[in-house]
Amino acid sequence: MTHKNSVSTISSVMPTYSRFPVTLAKGKGSYVWDDQGEKFLDFTSGIATCNLGHVPDSVKEKVEEQLSKLWHCSNLYHIPNQQELADLLTANSCGDQVFFCNSGAEANEAAIKLARRYAQKVKGTEAFKVVTFQQSFHGRTLATLSATGQEKIQQGFAPLVQGFHYLPFNNSEALDQIKTLQPAAVLLELVQGEGGVIPANLEWVQKLAQICMEKDILLMVDEIQTGIGRTGTLFAYEQYGIEPDVISIAKGLGSGFPIGAIIAKEKAAKAFEPGTHGSTFGGNPLATAAGVATIRHILETNLLNHVNEIAAYLDEELHVLKNKYPFIKEIRGKGLLKGLVVDTNAIEMVQTALKNQLLILTAGPNVVRILPPLTASKEELNEFIIKLEKTFQSN
């Protein structure tokens, strides 16, 4: 074993994040506390992950119960929590079968693999291309950053994985190219989160779905950020009158525990057979315990009605601010995934908000992204508006 002769002045953690000067130590509900005891209103929800707020009691109880039983056993054996979570997801979606993994990137990676195998082994074609859209974001693995329609995400990672074709988002005429391309699948976000909180147009999505149905092209919806109640329905696709063949989910599924999944219709799911795909940790007893508790909480507490009520209230209050502050150019998004388009530097606004004990995010250089917990109260929304307006006045 070798030992360094001197103490390094650089962090042992790779600098892949531009971190804010705060060390978070505790969280509960809509609030977090740093290591100095300072309290912050968290309207990032861990980037749409802590949908039930921090350390929700219903999930905590289920996880603590599982901690004393079994943490890991591999997918070579049946896992009751995994089966229960799969049953909940298929019973409350248009899908029939679920594959579990650890993250959103892995979920989209599985969807891409499923699409290729469906085209080649089920349909018997040589198709492998996947159509995605400009300004999309699908993950950081080599395949999913190749699927992402943003050059800045791809820089320095050439050669990219081949087989992705990017079309302009919300452009109806461009969809006709799909008929010529004859891809294995189309992968899209119904609200482009990282790309600027841009919702897909209803008519555009329905035309896309019609083309996919007519040409037997898999329609795959990336619900990593929009799923698990974030937009006011369990899945955002429910608001568009479509039925995807594959749905990728993660983030809010485990209330902060690492878990991802794809939900697929039977016709697509049958492309995966034993040995074609897998995951050591995916769907383990601990993560799926968190998933079961999360989904049951949403379904059994009427939480989605609450989401729609407070989302409408938040929208009203944000429009009041828009009328008051000319630098707010547009309010975008669905449910509790909101974006404020500003003609100022969004990251500077986020940094000022931090000084006002408020956590918010960006979605590009001129969009402030707001992601309250789905459990946030009206009083907490009022507190948010006060802190946000103070931020505007300080910026």
Assess whether pLDDT exceeds 80 at residue 368: yes
| pLDDT at site 5 | 59
How far, in Å, CA of 26 to CA of 290, rounded?
Answer: 19
Tell me what the mean pLDDT of segment 55-61 comes to: 98
Enumerate the domain spans of the chain. 24-56+303-394, 57-300
Measured in whole angstroms, how far is the alpha carbon of residue 15 from the centre of its chain?
23
Tell me what the mean pLDDT of segment 30-43 comes to: 98
Which run of H or E residues covers position 352? helix 346-355
Task: Answer whether 24-56+303-394 and 57-300 agree in fold.
Answer: no
CA torsion 51-55-61-63 (nearest 10°) is 80
Q: Is 377 in contact with 307 (CB distance < 8 Å)?
A: no
Q: At what angle do helices 80-91 and 285-300 cross, to 10 degrees?
A: 30
Q: What is the tens place of the pLDDT at every residue in 76-97?
A: 999 999 999 999 999 999 999 9
Tell me what the mean pLDDT of segment 12-25 comes to: 93
Q: What is the tens place of the pLDDT at every residue in 377-388?
A: 999 999 999 999
pTM confidence score: 0.96
How far, in Å, CA of 126 to CA of 119, rounded?
Answer: 7
| pLDDT at site 334 | 98
Tell me what the mean pLDDT of segment 18-29 comes to: 96
| pLDDT at site 394 | 86
Q: Please tell me the CATH superfamily of domain 24-56+303-394, with its number.
A: Aspartate Aminotransferase, domain 1 (3.90.1150.10)
Assess whether pLDDT exceeds 80 at residue 1: no
Fold classification of 57-300 is Aspartate Aminotransferase; domain 2 (3.40.640)
Assess whether pLDDT exceeds 90 at residue 72: yes
